Structure 1
Amino acid sequence: MAHITALYRKSVSLLLLFLLAGMVPLMALIQQDAEALSLKEEDRRKFDYFFYQALNAKTQGKYDEAMDLLQYCHTLDSTNANVLVELGTFYNVLQDKDKALTYFRKAVRYDASNYYYNMMLAGLSKELGLKQEVVDIYSALAEEHPGKPELQFELANAYADNGELQKAIDALNKLEKSTGISEIITLNKYRLYSLMNKKEKAFDEIQQIIDKNPADPRYLILMGDLYLEDNQPVKALDYYEKAQLIDQQYPALILSMVNYYEKTNNKTAAQTELQKAITSSSLDVETKLQLLTRYLGILQQSQQDLKQANLLFETLFVQYPSNSQLNMIYGNALVLQGDKAGAMKQFEIYAKENPTDPAGYDQMIRLALAEEDLKKIQEITTEALKHLPQEPQFYFYLGAAHYQQGNYEKALHVFEEGLKNAIISNPLLESDFHGQIGDLNYFLGNKEAAFLSYEKSLKLNPQNLSVLNNYSYYLSLEKKDLDKAEQMSGITIKAEPMNPTFLDTYGWVLYEQGSYFMAKIYIEKAIEYGKENPSAEVFEHYGDVLYQTGDKEKALEYWKKAKELGNASSKLDKKIEAGTL
């Protein structure tokens, strides 16, 4: 009724103004007001309909549709906080953080008391490094919601991030009064006092929690660790000894004592402590594995024989016969000892027990690569792909093994399967896949397909040097797009000016362009930097260049050298026999 009365008063006052001005008749004015009211109601209904449609689309994963609907809702009502937050969330996911921030700020402006909107704005502001804004938001929220202790904690963190350390401590003290002494508050206060260089106050905070929990060794060990970190080993030992009186076999205490012995350069005592702990029955297997890894590290650092750890492994295998993590650690230890066959056996056991973990196969491949055992690589990767068809590295190694053995069609199939089935999140790796497919297609005579693959590869990684080199070289062999070939090859020799393969390619592209003297310079460099591993192809190229530059006798000499090395071109015998190109 009040709303109608107000509207009536508004209509009457407007009517008087219009009548005084000699304008609109009464009925026309009443009709105009009614139409305006009806339009607002229609817009509101329209807004509600499209907003719920947007939420529906979002729930169904139709994000483009949801975004369009939300944008339309925003045109209907640009002050609606629900829409503003939804749009902000979309832009946040799309990594358009500035736009998301604008929408979140507007949402809070139009619905300032909404707790969740403020929290979202605070989170994004923190991510964007807007430290004072974060302080302001949490400060207001903490005042408005005194029953939410977590806000005091967030406010303390915000103050600390903003460099207001004392205010951060004050916020934590306020929180501590309402919740009591707790580990997380105490440790934060310790950290803040340490940053303020108030060490005594920092240590007093830890002592406070020790006094509250005198029978708990954790806090004594923590105090010892903090003193050790502060280069006060005598005080650290005092607290460790107090912890020993409570529980001598406490796992964290053993680790801390090892740290103490290492810090005080008493490696023998550290080893003894570790050996005792690993063979004891009081610790769980995870802690023992952690200690065992630490023990191996100490042996390595002090350059002792790692074989002395093998007895500990045997003890643990008896205690935990089905723990395959032991096999992985032992395999790595055997690799360091030079026992590759023993290591391979351990990794095989691990892979058999954990067929969906790539780590075991990866370690086996590493060993097989060191031995250049292509058949073993095929065997490992084939087995791995039965269980892990989404892992790209196994396609790559299997394809490369077939490639090295000249099985080009098999290799091509493997790389193509890899592109189809594997999850390749790294564009550099995907570029390498296309590069290998390009090489294989070229060897199989599919030249246009090869060049297409090279283009795809370079789109993903324009600095893929092996692809740039091969693509430019094969273009030169086809006497095609030589300017493009020179440009690509030029990138490789700038990146690696002493790489003989890249130098030879660049020289050969220049040769095909008719720049014989420049070609001679680069191919001479290729020969110079490739002394350790001379190439028949490079020698033959050099012979061709020498012939074109007028040194026919020396050309023949290099053609003959190329023949001695083997794997030269089919035209080489004719060149030698005729002494001419």
Structure 2
Amino acid sequence: MSSRKQSLVRLVLTVCLLALLAGIVNCSGEDAEKLFQQGIDAMTANNQDEAVIWFKKALQQNSEMALAHYKLGEVYHKKGDIKLAFAELNRAIQQDPKLHEARKELAFLLVENRALDQAVNVCKQYLEINGDDEDIYLILGNSLAYTRKVDEAVDILKKGQTIYPDNTTLEMNLAKILVIKGDVAEGRSMMEKLAAREQDNITIQIALAQMYEKLERYDLAVMTLEASKEKFPQNPLPYFSLAQLALKKNQPENAKTIILDAEKIGIKDSRLYRMYAMISHRQGNSEDALAFFKKGVDVATDETRTVNQMILADYHTFLKNYKEAQNILESIIAEDGSKKKLKSKVVELFMAQGEFDQARTSVDSLLKEDSSDARGHFLKGLMMMQDKDVAEARKEFSKAKELAPNAAENQFLYGLTFMNESEQISITEISEALKKNPNLFKARLALAELYVKKGEFQQSLDELDTILSRQGDTDKLKKAIGKDADIIKVRALRIAILMKMNKPEVALEDAKLLVKTKPSDSAHIFRLAEIFYSMKKFDNALPLYEKLRLEKPESVKLLNRIVGVYMLKKNFERALEEVDTFLAKFPGNGTATVIKAKIYISQGHTDLAENVLVPEAVKGKDAAAIVMLAELCRNKKDNEKAVIYYKKALDLVPENVGIRMQLADLYLQSGQNSEAIESYENVLKVKADFLPAMNNLAFLYSEESKNLDRALELANEVARKLPENPDVADTLGWIYILKNVYSQAEPYMQQAIGAKPNHPVIMYHMAMLRYGQKNQQEAEKLIKGAIEKGLTGEALIDAKETLSAIIQSNERLFAATVEKDKGNADKAIVMLEEIQKSEGFNCEAAAYLGMLYAEQSKDITIALELAQKAYDTQPDNPLMADALGWVYYYQGSLLMAKQYVEQAIEKDEKFAPAHVHLGAVYIKKGEPVAARKELETSKSLKLSASDEKRVEKLLSELEN
């Protein structure tokens, strides 16, 4: 084929391809328009779900179709899908800023959802881009007023009224806002003139009455509303407003009469019936309330029927008529497909009825249909929590939190899932939830309880006080406590915290309030008695305990308290009488027998106590009696018998951690470390996170110098839970010392000795740390201090051995320094090298040896290594700094020499060798005046014979 012919073919193909593409584009455009129109038709037929499908299809064909985004947003708005509506309307505006319908729809959406600051911005953009609109002026003015920008609101409404002088709504709202601003005369005059001019407009007449009510001119408000009743005899609004006014004046019966009068003349209005129902509810007449809520549904219009049905369903739920509520919600969903969100409420009702299988099935179906249903994920999370599947619950709450980030309850329950893993994460998440909803009672109470677990009592108290402060004044609070068990729980927890904080006087006021509110509640009375008891106000406590005993004569707890009062009052005879009377009524009560034994023990009659307890031990039924016998044996130093009794008690209550700890502690105190280790390990088998057992076990393993890895694991866990405890820090530090990891031991031992500077064991452990760090001078001082403070046992033996080794080392070091000071450098070097060889490393010996190596022109590198290591080990010792500087002097590094020698003087200005060495440095640097000053200073201090010779030699150098 010729090239010309080929070119022609290519041209034809290109033209055809372009034509085909053009056809496709035109086809796509036509399809998008058709699909959009079908969406409009579906909207007209009130088929919202179908409309959504068509608009989405149109957007698939043309994603830049602003009108489709607008209409989709409008449908979502009607369906109540706020987030989706907001997104689509925003897209429409972005694609076509002049699409005023979309911006106006967005303004309405924002106002309805109380996003008033955003509404203000959207309205201002509308006026700037799309021009004037009376609805926009009204929305903007009201939004500004609600966001407390009243002056700007007045200006906007005045401007709108100027442009639209016939718009009575603008004028009416302007009058209201003038009153809010404080321009009462102007606002009232404007409203009165408007009402006089628009006598056939009931909305304006009602607005005038509401203004009078706000200004507390109730007479004028009633007169205006009565006139409206006459003029609009079949309109429910005047009756509704009159009933509201009666309620405001605390006249509920009058309000009900007004509503019934309206009904008598044929006015059947759902709002009036709902008001009547609420009044009846507040009066405690739930039957009447339910009847009127039902009437509200019966007379509702098509537009208000669903709302009234939902209110009725909520009231059925309140009355625990869950089946009736479920039937109503299911009928709403069946009638209106746009109410699918109510399915989550149906799930809640299944849960309330205990039909958890049905609830699970329903929530799974709901999430399969719509995985973006935040409430569905929340409810599934609740079910997972009920099944104790915390990991799955956390996933569901996390999803709910992601889908509804502003829902405080989602974040609260998400945080709650961390309670047993990380209290801090729980606290952080719940605190964030409370920022979103400060009134979320359960979250604040949970936060208070978390702070109690952490021992942060004041923070817990602050949260509880916040809860109580939100309940209003004292009278309202008393009523709330009377009706609300949760508030009682708050008060009870507050009392418990105050008692832990040793503030019984403050707790007493809360306890009295609870008793005053519910005088017959035994728990409140007992709490009050306990506070009096702790305050040693026994005459106040005793009558309360005795009053409670009339209700519960079999209560051993009350017997114990009553006996305790008499014992503290030294009335032992009456105490015994109380127990004997109780045992006569309830013979064979082991706990009462234990109480009797305690009375004998308190008087020193241990033999009588033993006589009482032995029969109980023989029966082998009461562990408390057997444990008390064990303690009696222990006090008599009969540890062997005590062990038998403890073990017998454990046969009865093998899970009792307290008894296991007593047995382990007995072994520990009697020096039976192997048995103690086994017993503490048994405690941890029962309660794996029991900190006292973990700490003692870590200590024992370290004392035995075996299984140090297990000791470290236990000690680290205890330290994580009790980071401020000095004993825990000491145990952990000691384990690191035994493992020769001195850098890790340092911070823990510093913490321990900082808190307990005179504790002999901690002083000994710190001494061994310093000894391990080759700081013998500090180690010696600490060991002597520990012995003086009463160090005992194996630690004392080890301390004395270490002290003996340090003394011997010091003697050898002293002998070497004597030779050095005499000028016998070679002999001193041999002696110092022997010390280093026998001890591994001795700081002072290394310092002297480094200086001698330098002075005797031996290996300067080794000299520097020795001096540097000595300095690194004891940086605060002037000898080490001076030695390092002197070695640098011989190396020829005068700058480094001066730095370290001056550092030695800073640490101890009376350290004579450093002044000598600094003088030598200044001579080498050519600074004779400074050199002479340092050398003269050294002569005024204590110098060795060899240093005296060096000073004279250096001074003679200066003379020459």
TM-score past 0.5 threshold: no
Higher relative contact order (CA 8 A, sep 6+): 1
Computing the radius of gyration from Cα coordinates, the structure with the larger value is: 2
Into which bin does the TM-score normalised by the smaller protein fall? 0.3 to 0.5
